[in-house]
């Protein structure tokens, strides 16, 4: 019996020695335990692959080594998601704690730990650590932006681990957005267009429609409406003489933006009028300039000033320009007795005009008692707008004939005649020879 027991003990010892001499055997947790090829030193790891969740967490790795085996752990320090490995070196068997930060990206993290022994006869062991990709994430640092009626520019920051885009609740969006590479979104809003506030929502959405995000962020943009419109124009009537003269002004008191429209009255036009500026904001001055009116009719333009785009609050400014005035021809006076002309007849006339007189002289006719320029006439070039005394002699006349004589003056507005008509009679033959007929009549 003792002999049999001894044989069993020897057999068991041999088996143990055989197992210790094996190069490799499978370890727990899917790792690989390794023993050196010679001697009693060894270095094993509990697992060659470690899978970690995406959140910030820790994982354990057991290093099994002979009591006299020194070891060191190294890895690529660029893998900053591995916050620490403790201990990073040691002797014999120990448990190592690996601490990782949260994986906020949409890609898996992967790194390799290398456990090296100070014993050159023990090969290094490698452990691959993989951290799961983070869930698709979209976040904003602000959920609303507020603007007053004047508008302006504000921004919010998007933090995400996926590509994203912006979408708007209003297809006719009244905001302008600009996105930078760091996720900053600048939002620009113009001045309010009415007294009603307005609101728009900006949605931050995955670029890929197949990607699902647990919480879809959004930013609400609000703008106050314009204050109740206050507007006054003074004066509301302007009158210009027929000669343009100096510009006139209309004062504006307003808390809103305003603009002008011009409308001619009675089928006229607005070409003769300049109104500046055509629009403005708040208080201001409108300057009105007109051209000379050389027509014989008054003309009018109505300037409608519309504040805040609200035509119901519009104010009309009436601009009237007086009709052009014909020259005023003064009295026509004969020098001497013209009942019977013996040698020649002379006359004195005068005129006044607000516009320069371009021509003046005498109209005379043997048939019409109110001669005009369509009858015989003499012409002297005009010399301005002042009253002038002029002396004229008769032109070529028929002998033994009665003539009716009126003075006239012509400007850009038209021709005006004297109110008096003078009658003269010739008693002799009128000379008809010579290149230049005389301005008087002989017997």
Question: Tens digit of pLDDT for each residue in 74-108?
Answer: 999 999 999 999 999 999 999 999 999 999 888 89
Comparing CA positions, the residue from 206, 412, 434, 132 lying closest to residue 296 is 412
Model pLDDT, residue 388: 58
**Per-residue tokens: 120:** 């050159």
Which CATH number is associated with domain 19-131?
Answer: 2.60.40.10
**Per-residue tokens: 152:** 């302006």
Reported for 175-184, long-range contacts at CB under 8 A and 24+ positions apart, including other chains, are: 175/200, 175/202, 175/221, 177/202, 182/157, 183/157, 183/158, 183/159, 184/155, 184/156, 184/157, 184/158
Annotation: CATH topology of 328-425: Immunoglobulin-like (2.60.40)
Model pLDDT, residue 377: 85
Model pLDDT, residue 288: 97
> Tell me: domain 138-223, CATH 2.60.40.10, correct?
yes
Label residue 419 exposed, middle or buried (CB < 10 Å: 0-12, 13-18, 19+).
exposed
Model pLDDT, residue 390: 60
What are the E-state strand segments in 218-256? Answer: 218-223, 231-234, 237-240, 248-254
Model pLDDT, residue 15: 40
> Tell me: domain 231-321, CATH 1.10.3720.10, correct?
no
User: Domain ranges in the chain?
Assistant: 19-131, 138-223, 231-321, 328-425
Model pLDDT, residue 302: 96
Q: Are 301 and 271 in contact (CB under 8 A)?
A: no
358 phi-psi bin (left φ>0, alpha ψ -120 to 50, beta other): alpha
- Helix, strand, or coil here: 95? strand
Comparing CA positions, the residue from 278, 235, 288, 228 lying closest to residue 258 is 278
Question: Which pLDDT tens digit goes with each residue over 130-146?
Answer: 999 888 889 999 999 99
Q: What is the DSSP string of 389-443?
A: -EEEE--S--TT-EEEEEEEEEESS-EEE-S--EEEEB-SPPP--SSS--SS---
**Per-residue tokens: 148:** 């007053």
């Amino acid at each position: 019996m003792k002999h049999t027991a001894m044989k069993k003990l020897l057999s068991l010892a041999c088996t143990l020695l055989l197992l210790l001499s094996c190069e490799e055997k499978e370890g727990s947790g899917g790792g690989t335990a390794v023993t050196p090829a010679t001697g009693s030193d060894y270095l094993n790891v509990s697992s060659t692959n470690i899978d970690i969740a995406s959140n910030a967490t820790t994982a354990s790795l057991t290093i099994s080594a002979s009591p006299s085996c020194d070891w060191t752990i190294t890895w690529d320090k660029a893998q900053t998601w591995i916050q620490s490995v403790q201990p990073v070196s040691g002797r014999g068997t120990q448990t190592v704690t690996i601490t990782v930060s949260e994986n906020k990206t949409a890609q898996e993290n992967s790194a390799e730990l290398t456990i090296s022994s100070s014993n050159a006869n023990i090969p290094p062991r490698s452990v691959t650590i993989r951290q799961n990709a983070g869930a698709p994430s979209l976040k904003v640092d602000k959920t609303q932006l507020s603007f007053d009626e004047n508008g302006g520019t504000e921004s919010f920051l998007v933090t995400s681990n996926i590509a994203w885009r912006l979408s708007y609740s209003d297809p006719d969006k009244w905001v302008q957005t600009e996105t930078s590479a760091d996720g900053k979104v600048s939002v620009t809003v113009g001045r309010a267009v009415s007294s009603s506030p307005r609101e728009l929502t900006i949605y931050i959405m995955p670029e890929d429609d197949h990607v699902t995000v647990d919480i879809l962020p959004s930013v609400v943009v609000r703008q106050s409406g314009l204050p109740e419109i206050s507007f006054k124009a003074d004066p509301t009537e302007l009158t210009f003489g027929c000669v343009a003269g100096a510009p006139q002004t209309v004062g504006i008191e307003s808390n809103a933006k305003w603009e002008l429209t011009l409308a001619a009255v009675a089928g006229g036009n607005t070409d003769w009028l300049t109104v500046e500026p055509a629009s403005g904001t708040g208080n201001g001055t409108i300057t009105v300039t007109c051209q000379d009116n050389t027509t014989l009719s008054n003309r009018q333009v109505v300037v409608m000033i519309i504040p805040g785009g609200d035509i119901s609050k519009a104010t009309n400014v009436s601009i009237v320009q007086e009709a052009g005035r014909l020259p005023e021809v003064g009295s026509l006076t004969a020098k001497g007795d013209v009942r019977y002309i013996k040698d020649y007849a002379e006359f004195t006339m005068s005129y006044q005009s607000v516009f320069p007189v371009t021509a003046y002289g005498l109209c005379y006719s043997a048939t019409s008692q109110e001669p005009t320029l369509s009858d015989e006439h003499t012409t002297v070039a005009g010399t301005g707008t002042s009253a002038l005394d002029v002396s004229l002699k008769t032109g070529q006349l028929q002998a033994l004939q009665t003539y009716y004589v009126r003075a006239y003056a012509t400007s850009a507005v038209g021709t005006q005649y004297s109110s008096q008509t003078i009658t003269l009679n010739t008693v002799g033959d009128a000379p008809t020879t010579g290149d230049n007929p005389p301005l008087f009549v002989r017997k």
